[in-house]
Amino acid sequence: MAQTASPSPTTTTSPGTSACPINSPLPSNIIEVRIPQGATNLGQNGFGTNPLSVPAGTVVIWVNDDSVPHTVTSDSNAFDSGNLDPGEAFAYFFNSAGTFPYHCTLHPNMTGSVTVGSAPGSSPTPVPAVTNGDDSGGDSSGPTGY
């Protein structure tokens, strides 16, 4: 009697696509900054909310609502949107604490900064002190004598 091989599963990938693991935490916050009409005449206010303070783990999205192109370019070259035409947006994930100044390369008078603090919930939670023989009239329903 002839044996037939049972089909074995195969994995196919479409050209130009691949699976990749996510090694970074997903953003806990998404903040939108709108570049307003006439931003080139607004200088430091040309990036809307400025300066911006966010916790680590935040994605900031800049949306160009102006009628001319702009860029969102980090002073340290950590990020650069390239030219954002009217209606286009650029997003950047801020995962570490620090201050990140940026500017528009097309309009150098437009400047901004993002200050990133610690991630939400990353600071230690204070624990109440446990005392023995406390006669302050507090709640006595819990265990004592640790």
Residue located via tokens 């650069």: 80
- 24 Cβ contact list (under 8 Å, min separation 6): 93, 95
**Residue-range domain boundaries for the chain:** 29-117
Instruction: Confirm whether pTM is higher than 0.95.
Output: no
Domain at 29-117, CATH class: mainly beta
Report the share of the chain in percent with pLDDT over 70: 60
- Over the chain, what is the mean pLDDT? 76
Residue located via tokens 């196919």: 12
Residue located via tokens 């990036």: 47
Residue 137 is which amino acid? G
pLDDT in tens, 43-88: 667 888 789 999 999 999 999 999 999 999 999 999 999 999 999 9
Say yes or no to pLDDT of 28 above 90: no
pLDDT in tens, 98-142: 999 999 999 999 999 999 998 665 544 444 555 455 444 444 444
Q: How many CA atoms lie within 13 A of 97 on its CB side?
A: 5
Q: Which pLDDT belongs to residue 8?
A: 40
Task: Label the pairing between strands 111-117 and 89-94.
Answer: unpaired
Reduced 3-state DSSP string for 26-87:
CCCEEEEEEECCCHHHCHHHHHCCCCEEEECCEEEEEEECCCCCECCEECCCCCECCCECCC
